[in-house]
């Protein structure tokens, strides 16, 4: 497979430069070589010529905050207050997780993501090597981190099993698959870490050149208790520990202050917006438009399938597109044209993939074809509005990652979907 494909009759959801909506996208060796209204003279180099008539062509989606193995716990312990859900259901169930369950659940979630047009995810969890194995097998991109927690301030961070697991994960998997797999470091959250551990992980990130993945100010109580504990906000605490001196991405950020946002902007921290999870868990609403006005890089994440319950960036986008308009009662904010980049370019940046997330020459060929020939996408006066307001996951006809077709017309090329679903059901049976 030379990963060279010619897409013809392509209508780009972004990119107003091509008004006639019938362009040729030439992909050579997995990279977008040219976009043109003229057909290339020599088409013998392409292993496939794909006709995109009746489709929108979009950059593929990036799911930049998730715990993909939590698909094992989708719908497990619903309708409870947050603390009861965590303490009575999720934590005891997680205690029973095994390598086998995490692998089966990771495969299931990656299949779900690929069919939903997602080619890359940022994961923070446990048994992370099993998640990495699954990502490699399915041939997707992933930034994977072992979540580090530390509760004993007298503990020497260097002796922490979790840190050792995180370093082993880095040594075993970072850079695998031609760089599609990256290993980042992770501090779970301000309330689950000691200051020495936080500083130590920051130093490791610098040493290894990794990114940092954190949960940040997801709930008001977490934010306020953090201030009580540290004498400063969780954002300021992380910044002071040096955690934001590397490429960093912070999930949720529902309760960050104006000053926190200034820190996040100054430190180039990417904020990961998880609107579905924030609503479902009763956390609240992140100030998305304020973040964007500050120039913060905001990407989208699904969070785990136990608090969502999907791995769908399209759903996050579509909720983000209407939620803030409704809460602020301003229909004119967050223009649909501007929101599209949150699903792709911003996500790629948060993962340190500067050559991804955009349909432009020189960028990796990560793209999806979206079906317009379906009742809910007719008429198409405004392509970005189709994506932000009416498209469905099932409209994804093709998912392409680095020029490899991972999914086409309901068929997976790297996954035996029937087996993955069977294995998942079997592995999850201990929770039934």
Residue 193 in tokens? 């870490």
Cβ 254 to a copy of itself shortest distance, Å = 10
Decide whether 70 or 348 has the Cβ nearer to a copy of itself.
70
Taking the least distance from each CB to a copy of itself, the nearer of 18 and 389 is: 389
Could you tell me the smallest distance in angstroms from the CB atom of residue 68 to a copy of itself?
A: 11
Residue 175 to residue 394: CA distance in whole angstroms: 32
**Residue 118 to residue 105: CA distance in whole angstroms:** 16
Residue among 197 and 334 whose Cβ is closer to a copy of itself: 334
Q: Which two tokens stand for residue 405?
A: 């077709």
Nearest approach, Cβ of residue 11 and a copy of itself (Å): 14
Burial label, 79 (beta-carbon count in 10 A; 0-12, 13-18, 19+): exposed
Of 169, 166, 108, 101, the residue nearest 137 (C-alpha): 108
CB of 185 to a copy of itself, least distance (A): 29
Give me the residues paired with residue 214 across strands. Answer: 187, 250
Nearer to a copy of itself, 321 or 349 (CB): 321
**Min dist. Cβ of residue 311 to a copy of itself (A):** 7
Question: Of the two residues 168 and 421, which places its CB atom closer to a copy of itself in the complex?
Answer: 421
- Least distance to a copy of itself from the beta carbon of 4, Å? 30
HEC string of the chain equals CCCCEEEEEEEECCCCCCCCCCEEEEEECCEEEEEECCCCCCCCCCCEEEECCCEEEEECEEEEEECHHHHHHCCCCCCCCHHHHHHHHHHHHHHCCCHHHHHHHHHHHHHHHHHCCEEEEEEEECCHHHHHHHHHHHCCEEEEEEEECCCCCCCCHHHCHHHHHHHHHHHHHCCCCCCCEEECEEECCHHHCCHHHHHHHHHHHHHHCCCEEEEECCCHHHHHHHHHHHCCCHHHHHHHCCHHHCCEEEEECCCCCHHHHHHHHHCCCEEEECHHHHHHCCCCCCCHHHHHHCCCCEEECCCCHHHCCCCCHHHHHHHHHHHHHHHHCCCCCCCHHHHHHHHCHHHHHHCCCCCCCCCCCCCECCEEEEECCCHHHCCCCCHHHHHHHHCCHHHEEEEEECCEEEEECCEECCCCHHHHHHHHHHHHHHHC
Q: How many CA atoms lie within 13 A of 412 on its CB side?
A: 23
Plot region of 296 (φ>0 → left; ψ -120 to 50 → alpha; else → beta): beta
Residue among 70 and 263 whose Cβ is closer to a copy of itself: 70
In terms of CB distance, is 184 or 303 closer to a copy of itself? 303
Least Cβ distance, residue 152 to a copy of itself (angstroms): 30
Rg of the chain over all Cα atoms, to the nearest angstrom? 21
CB of 105 to a copy of itself, least distance (A): 9
Nearest distance from C-beta of residue 70 to a copy of itself, angstroms: 11
Return the number of the residue (149 or 417) whose C-beta is nearest a copy of itself.
Answer: 417
> Would you say 258 or 329 has its CB closer to a copy of itself?
329
Residue number with CB closer to a copy of itself (154 or 432)? 432
Of the pair 18, 76, the CB lying nearest a copy of itself is at 76
CB of 357 to a copy of itself, least distance (A): 23
Nearest distance, CB of residue 117 and a copy of itself, angstroms: 13
């Amino acid at each position: 497979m030379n990963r060279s494909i010619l897409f013809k009759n392509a209508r780009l959801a972004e990119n107003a430069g091509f008004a006639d909506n019938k362009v040729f996208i030439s992909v050579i060796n997995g990279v977008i070589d040219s976009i043109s209204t003229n057909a290339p003279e020599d088409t013998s180099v392409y292993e496939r010529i794909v006709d995109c008539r009746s489709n929108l062509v979009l950059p593929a989606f990036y799911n930049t905050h998730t715990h993909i193995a939590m698909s094992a716990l989708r719908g497990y312990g619903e309708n409870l207050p947050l603390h009861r859900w965590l303490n009575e259901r999720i934590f005891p169930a997680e205690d029973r997780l095994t390598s086998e369950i995490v692998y089966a659940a990771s495969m299931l979630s990656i299949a779900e993501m690929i069919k939903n047009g997602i080619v890359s995810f940022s994961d923070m969890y446990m048994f992370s090597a099993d998640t990495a194995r699954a990502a490699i097998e399915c041939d997707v991109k992933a930034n994977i981190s072992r979540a580090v927690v530390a509760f004993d301030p007298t503990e020497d961070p260097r002796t922490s099993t979790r840190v050792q697991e995180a370093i082993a994960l880095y040594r075993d998997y970072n850079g695998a698959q031609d760089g599609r797999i990256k290993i980042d470091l992770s501090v779970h959250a301000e309330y689950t870490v000691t200051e020495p551990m936080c500083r130590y992980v920051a130093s490791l990130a610098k040493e290894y050149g990794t990114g940092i993945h954190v949960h940040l100010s997801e709930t008001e109580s977490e934010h306020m208790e953090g201030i009580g504990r540290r004498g400063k906000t969780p954002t300021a605490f992380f910044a002071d520990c040096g955690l934001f001196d590397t490429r960093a991405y912070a999930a949720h950020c529902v309760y960050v202050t104006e000053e926190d946002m200034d820190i996040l902007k100054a430190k180039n921290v990417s904020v990961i917006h998880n609107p579905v999870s924030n609503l479902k868990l009763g956390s609240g609403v992140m100030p998305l438009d304020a973040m964007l006005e500050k120039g913060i890089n905001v990407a989208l994440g699904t969070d785990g399938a136990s608090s969502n319950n999907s791995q769908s960036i399209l759903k996050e986008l579509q909720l983000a597109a209407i939620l803030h308009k409704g809460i602020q009662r301003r229909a004119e904010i967050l223009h649909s044209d501007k929101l599209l980049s949150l699903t792709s370019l911003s996500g790629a940046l948060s993962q340190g993939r500067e050559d991804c997330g955009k349909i432009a020459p020189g960028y990796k060929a990560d793209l999806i074809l979206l079906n317009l020939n379906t009742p809910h996408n007719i008429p198409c006066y405004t392509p970005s509005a189709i994506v932000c307001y009416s498209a469905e996951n099932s409209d994804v006809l093709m998912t392409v990652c680095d020029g490899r077709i991972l999914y086409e017309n309901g068929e997976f090329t790297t996954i035996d979907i029937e087996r993955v679903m069977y294995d998942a059901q079997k592995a999850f049976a201990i929770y039934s």
